[in-house]
């Protein structure tokens, strides 16, 4: 059996299992989604967002890209954020990175001449590296630097979120959402909390939107 055929077969089995346990499962979900969480994660196949937090369909609005970045000139990320915050009215935005991230590891190397688009995406990670260059270069091994840059990148993405007009406006008008920066361990399956910014958190004035 080919890989894609197996996926289609597994899908039928999954849908059957769901309706066996709860006959109205899909009918209820077909009408409306009311997720309380926006999840921004890495595209890495080993970090499947819903599976690692045991979430069911309808519970999380999900955006994934290489190295779980919130790039504020990227229409994809911004559209997801705006829809989640302004229409779905999520209470929490989670950025979940993971240790040993291939994107983060690649960003510590020279640019790959064969991957012109990916280089541009990883350029933002190089900027995070440069922001914390002295701390990162004081670490002994490449693995230690990747490990720490994974964490610093998650924290940076939380600040990128807080610096958007979308988040600041929702904080002011509706006192939500909370922002959470997490990191997932590929080797133990456990998520660690790195940073949490509740609504109204202090923001550097140069990033504040004034009325
Ligand atoms: Co990754």
Residue 98 designated active-site: yes
pLDDT tens-digit map of 72-102? 999 999 999 999 999 999 999 999 999 999 9
pLDDT tens-digit map of 131-148? 999 999 999 899 999 999
> What angle separates helix 165-174 from helix 142-162, to the nearest 10 degrees?
60
Residue 44 designated active-site: yes
Residue 54 CA to ligand 1 centre (angstroms): 20
Beta bridge partners of 64: 41
- Tell me, what's the pLDDT at 211? 61
Residue 104 CA to ligand 1 centre (angstroms): 7
95 and 22: one domain? no
Residue 12 CA to ligand 1 centre (angstroms): 29
pLDDT tens-digit map of 156-186? 999 999 999 999 999 999 999 999 999 999 9
Q: For residue 198, give its domain range.
A: 36-207
Cα angle, residue 166 at apex, residues 164 and 170 outer, rounded to 5°: 125
CATH number at residue 152: 3.40.1050.10
Residue 42 designated active-site: yes
21 and 74: one domain? no
pTM value > 0.85: yes
pLDDT tens-digit map of 21-69? 999 999 999 988 899 999 999 999 999 999 999 999 999 999 999 999 9
How far is the C-alpha of 149 from the C-alpha of 128, rounded, in Å? 8
User: Residue 204 in contact with residue 180, Cβ under 8 Å?
Assistant: no
Question: Residue 194 — pLDDT band, cuts 50, 70, 90?
Answer: very high
Set 46, 86, 127, 144: catalytic member: 46
Q: Please choose, from the candidates 176, 177, 123, the residue with its C-alpha nearest in 3D space to the C-alpha of residue 153.
A: 123
112 and 81: one domain? yes
Set 44, 105, 124, 145: catalytic member: 44
18 and 45: one domain? no
- Tell me, what's the pLDDT at 210? 78
- Structure token digits, residue 83: 């829809």
How far is the C-alpha of 125 from the C-alpha of 118, rounded, in Å? 11
Set 63, 96, 98, 105: catalytic member: 98
- Tell me, what's the pLDDT at 41? 98
Q: For 33, phi and psi rounded to 5 degrees?
A: -115, 135
Residue 28 designated active-site: no
Residue 69 CA to ligand 1 centre (angstroms): 10
């Amino acid at each position: 059996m080919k890989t894609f055929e197996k996926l289609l077969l597994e899908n039928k089995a999954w849908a059957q299992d769901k309706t066996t346990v709860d006959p109205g499962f899909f009918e209820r979900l077909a009408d409306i989604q009311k997720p309380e969480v926006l999840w921004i994660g890495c595209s890495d196949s080993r970090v499947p967002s819903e599976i690692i937090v045991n979430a069911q369909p309808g519970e999380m609005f999900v955006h994934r890209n290489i190295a779980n970045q919130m790039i504020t000139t990227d229409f994809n990320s911004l559209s997801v954020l705006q829809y989640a915050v302004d229409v779905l009215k999520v209470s929490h935005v989670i950025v979940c990175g993971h240790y040993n991230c291939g994107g983060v590891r690649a960003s510590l190397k020279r640019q790959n001449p064969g991957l012109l688009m990916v280089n541009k995406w990883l350029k933002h990670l190089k900027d995070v590296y440069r922001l914390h260059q002295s701390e990162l270069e004081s670490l002994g091994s490449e693995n230690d630097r990747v490990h720490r840059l994974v964490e610093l990148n998650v924290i940076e993405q939380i600040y990128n979120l807080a610096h958007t007009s979308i988040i600041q406006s929702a904080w002011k008008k509706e006192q939500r959402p909370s922002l959470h920066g997490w990191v997932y361990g590929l080797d133990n399956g456990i998520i660690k909390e790195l940073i949490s910014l509740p609504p109204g958190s202090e923001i550097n004035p140069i990033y504040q939107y004034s009325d």
